[in-house]
Amino acid sequence: MFALHILGWILFFVSAALLTVVVLLQEPKGGGLAEAFGGMGAETFGVKSGGINRFTFTLAAVFCGSAILISSTWTVA
């Protein structure tokens, strides 16, 4: 159980650092939240989403999953 807890922390920090770098390296597409669900911004969630969006989503999923893993293996003595 302790090994899973340590693995969770490692995944948490590595995915947080990578997620920060990937988000900062992405080119701004404009539009903001108002256009995220209509107009030109709809391409983000549609067929035209590229590999960087999938990678960002995967990193976010790893980040959330590692947070859940840390929470589930947390023991209070």
At which residue do the structure tokens 């976010």 appear?
A: 60
Give yes or no for a contact between 19 and 56, defined as CB atoms under 8 angstroms apart: yes
Alpha-carbon distance of 51 to 25, in angstroms, equals 13
Which pLDDT score, from 0 to 100, does residue 64 have? 96
Residue 75 has pLDDT above 70, yes or no: yes
Which pLDDT score, from 0 to 100, does residue 48 have? 55
Higher pLDDT, 1 or 31: 1
pLDDT tens-digit series, residues 21-66: 988 887 776 655 555 555 554 455 555 556 778 889 999 999 999 9
